[in-house]
Amino acid sequence: MSRAFVNEDARSVPEPEFSLPDRDSEYYDEAAAWALIQGADAGNTRAAETATGYPWGEPRLVPEIEKIREEAEAEENLRVAQLARRFLRAAKRG
């Protein structure tokens, strides 16, 4: 293999860990919604989707994401509000 395709200096970035309750918990969807927002913020939506079992834009999570957006806007947390709006747009397309 050509050395042009080998990056020996590349650091291995560990997958993020998401703290989620048991799937049968009444709080699972809330935690999953936050995990998806946090994963997107970290640039690793795929890891959050894998951890939660929900894809980005999952309609089931719309009520939770709307709460997150409302709280973020009230607290002027622009990044979280932006990500929540993106999720909601994706949910409407799905």
Q: Give the model confidence (pLDDT) of 29-82 as tens digits.
A: 999 999 999 999 999 999 999 999 999 999 999 999 999 999 999 999 999 999
Residue 14 CA to residue 59 CA, distance in Å, equals 29
Residue 11 CA to residue 8 CA, distance in Å, equals 8
Model confidence at 5, pLDDT cuts 50, 70, 90, reads low
Q: Assess contact for 58 and 46: CB atoms under 8 A.
A: no
Residue 46 CA to residue 63 CA, distance in Å, equals 21
Q: Is the pLDDT of residue 10 over 60?
A: no
25-35 core/surface letters (b: 16 or more CB in 10 A; e: else): eeebbbbbbbb
Residue type (1 letter), 79: R
